Structure 1
């Protein structure tokens, strides 16, 4: 009886590991930077503009809706990998953040005159005298109609670059 129990436990651990690796294989492969200076460096290195996503991830209904309807879709994933460096600037109410991130995000909110969420700015930047110097390309927010409608607006903004 003990032997059967041990064998069952061993086999079930292999099944759970296999399921876990399968699930991880299906996860989105997008990287959302939270360090603006790192994002600027990547943007300049790849010659892609930054997509700056100003969000209240744990309280803003429109932000959550934008995530579900656009930012977490396969269409957006393909487009983003080809066209932009993703930057998340989050202003949560319940999720803890470091003081460094809070200060950085507050400065970005001020620099881009963010009044509401979600707001997405497309921008390029250079570091001058240790400080970022941004060039805004245009902005948008939630766009009804799913990923294709949203991506048409985004393409219109970044093609002006």
Structure 2
């Protein structure tokens, strides 16, 4: 039965939010960390690979469902993927605070107040399982 529940949870798509203030509130309520990812979803090859290989992996999904509030700050370039003006401004404000160098992809692990605990420039250079274990380790040390 437990295996069935785990399988069911793993099949649920991850919920990536776009509202950072809402993510901070949820992180406080659920005692979780925030994973903020800066991406160029329609032009950045390493971003697309990271999403597919890392964020799409079963091991990440399972860990994230229990430990993280996910936020994606996307910067698409194609007209058909254009974000609303409000979302664009919000993402630009996040970039001004957390990604001044304009790295893509750029992933940060933050506490519920928005303090940076760990960050990764580019696609992780570790295996998926090693990277997920690293994220989980920070989450677990924060819960103590």
TM-score by structure 2 length?
Answer: 0.81
Q: Is the 8 A contact 2:32 2:112 kept in 1?
A: no
Q: Is the 8 A contact 1:143 1:149 kept in 2?
A: no
- List gaps (5 residues or longer) in structure 2: 1-9
Give secondary structure in 2 for the equivalent of 1:92.
Answer: coil
- List gaps (5 residues or longer) in structure 1: 1-25, 127-133
The structure 2 residue matched to 1:139, chosen from 119, 134, 137, is: 119
Instruction: Give the distance between the partners of 1:140 and 1:45, measured in 2 at CA.
Output: 26
User: RMSD of aligned C-alpha atoms?
Assistant: 1.9
Instruction: Give the distance between the partners of 2:40 and 2:86, measured in 1 at CA.
Output: 17
Q: In the alignment, what sits opposite 1:148? A: 129
Q: Is the 8 A contact 2:26 2:69 kept in 1?
A: yes
Instruction: Give the distance between the partners of 1:159 and 1:114, measured in 2 at CA.
Output: 29
State yes or no: 1:65 paired with 2:65.
Answer: no
The structure 2 residue matched to 1:81, chosen from 52, 55, 65, is: 65
Give secondary structure in 2 for the equivalent of 1:144.
Answer: coil
The structure 2 residue matched to 1:117, chosen from 104, 110, 120, is: 104
Residue 57 of structure 1: how far off its partner (Å): 0.6
Deviations 1:122-145 (A, max 9, x none): 11244xxxxxxx211111142234
Task: From the CA coordinates, give the structure whose radius of gyration is larger.
Answer: 1
TM-score by structure 1 length?
Answer: 0.73
Instruction: Give the distance between the partners of 1:93 and 1:27, measured in 2 at CA.
Output: 30
Q: In the alignment, what sits opposite 1:39? A: 23
- Pairs aligned (count): 129
Runs of 4+ in 1 over 2 A off after TM superposition: 26-29, 155-161
Give secondary structure in 2 for the equivalent of 1:149.
Answer: helix
